[in-house]
Structure 1
């Protein structure tokens, strides 16, 4: 049974009300994304608020977070309020589609770990289905919002499994939103690629940069140096 919370060095994520718990790939994503120059950030489908909190730890930017699920809304709001960055974090308890209808805000950075199983069988857990499958939030919704609300020099960053990442990149090109970098995240050295961290921009700058990140060594025992350096500011067990 998953813990009711996940303790980081500077904040705690309560997760008992959320279908999707804190997981390693989301933490890698939250730690990797470059937030240094951002003044306004949006986290689409914030869930527990994890990505918004990780961003707030490293920047003075205002971080907006959109969430449609009522239980996740309560959880994220509590996690924001109990964090050291409550003044920076703003929860919008509605769908992205609803938010788009009234928001006039433009963003330097848009983050999302969106629903991603395009063709997988759905489980009997409705909350988990909503969190993990495209349905309430379509890839096209993210692209339309990005087209309207991302500044010209801004970045869109996503975490997706490889098949869905390839599909999203093809879809994004039709909106003239271009893939500039992919980080392939592997379970271990010599292991399976489980996620792509994708960075998109309006400007087309040649072939996308491709990097690799391995979570554990080839024996699947110790975390790699790259992983530890990335998560050092967050994970309690990394000194």
Structure 2
């Protein structure tokens, strides 16, 4: 497999137009959100993927959702947007997917959104990479966390859900900001790359406008021997070619 593409069972992520990479954390996040949708028997019809990159999360959800639905993938980087558009066109769900070259701060949905997903840049107030594209991909200079929550507040339907992946150290910040916008934690997945790690490195959280029972799941990618855990296999097996 070349570094310019990443093959899943039912689709391929091409990356030759830009420097963005497919990460295990992003794959787990997509699988987690899909699992949440199935577990709660949700039927989101209007979905927005904020900062979609080359379209990974949108494609993972498209594989699992039951029509009718429409996924709009917003991306500011032109190369990543073009790559997402190509990946969508080559997928089995092209008529359900739309890549849009737009900034979430100025884009407006024509109707309320049932699900917003976002894998935002991980680092905040830290030195940028020398490479500008890498800096934009890994630092939130373009869309701050508060702006993301403002977007969710503006577009989310009363019964909608907001799913986000963040470093664990920003979990409290997200929680307090979300409350200011009337969003309440409904579910989370604490992710550990390997058994024995003292702290999770990233956490995925799902918020709702409605106060509901909060559920927390721990997902460890690999055991002490380096083998994928049963839960990791269960969540990722619908997507990965080899697991």
Report the TM-score range of the alignment, normalised by the length of the smaller protein: over 0.9
Aligned to 2:15: 15
Q: Which one of the candidate residues 77, 94, 118 is aligned to 2:85? A: 77
Deviation at 1:120, TM superposition (A): 2.5
**2:32–2:189 contact (8 Å) kept in structure 1:** no
Structure 1-normalised TM-score? 0.93
CA–CA distance in structure 2, aligned partners of residues 111 and 2 of structure 1: 28
Deviation at 1:19, TM superposition (A): 2.7
Q: Secondary structure at the match of 2:206?
A: strand
CA–CA distance in structure 2, aligned partners of residues 155 and 82 of structure 1: 28
Aligned to 1:52: 58
Structure 2-normalised TM-score? 0.92
Is residue 195 of structure 1 aligned with residue 202 of structure 2? Answer: yes
RMSD of aligned residue pairs (Cα, Å): 1.5
Is residue 99 of structure 1 aligned with residue 102 of structure 2? Answer: no
**1:187–1:216 contact (8 Å) kept in structure 2:** yes
Deviation at 1:86, TM superposition (A): 0.5
**2:73–2:99 contact (8 Å) kept in structure 1:** yes
Q: Which moved more, 1:130-139 or 1:221-230?
A: 130-139
**Number of aligned pairs?**
234
Alignment gaps of 5+ in structure 2: none
Q: Which one of the candidate residues 209, 225, 229 is aligned to 2:230? A: 225
Is residue 237 of structure 1 aligned with residue 239 of structure 2? Answer: no
CA–CA distance in structure 1, aligned partners of residues 97 and 173 of structure 2: 31
CA–CA distance in structure 2, aligned partners of residues 164 and 17 of structure 1: 31
Q: Which one of the candidate residues 205, 208, 212 is aligned to 2:218? A: 212
Is residue 124 of structure 1 aligned with residue 154 of structure 2? Answer: no
Alignment gaps of 5+ in structure 1: none
Q: Which one of the candidate residues 69, 73, 91 is aligned to 1:65? A: 73
